[in-house]
Amino acid sequence: MPRIVVLPHETLCPEGAVIEAPAGKSICDALLDNDIEIEHACEKSCACTTCHVILREGYDALAEPQEKEEDLLDMAWGLEATSRLSCQAILTEEDLVVEIPKYTINHARENH
């Protein structure tokens, strides 16, 4: 089972974490299953950027992003070359190091 090293995030995971999840699961679901409450405003339907993560290690182990994901990533805060939407990034057998950006663009939450 692949290991995901989650780098410290001020509010979601202050100490960082090391979790395991089965291949075939999305990074988003793996985080949520381990009580790391990453935002997913569109309910994981690839319609927003709130679950944006940056892969610090293991990016090439994942399938290439689809065009819809790439289009959305262009709008993500803090976009980097190894950015992915965690709801679309499916785990393989390789370990990953993931950083959750400090900010997200969540129009639903910002309007409350």
Amino acid letter, 64? E
What is the number of structural domains in the chain? 1
pLDDT tens, residue order, the chain (112 aa): 999 999 999 999 999 999 999 999 999 999 999 999 999 999 999 999 999 999 999 999 999 999 999 999 999 989 999 999 999 999 999 999 999 998 776 644 443 3
pTM, to two decimals: 0.92
Structure tokens at 32: 């949520």
Three-state secondary structure call for residue 108:
helix
CA 8 to chain centre: 14
Residue 40 half-sphere exposure toward CB, CA atoms < 13 A: 18
Q: Which domain holds residue 22?
A: 3-110
The domain spanning residue 22 has which CATH number? 3.10.20.30
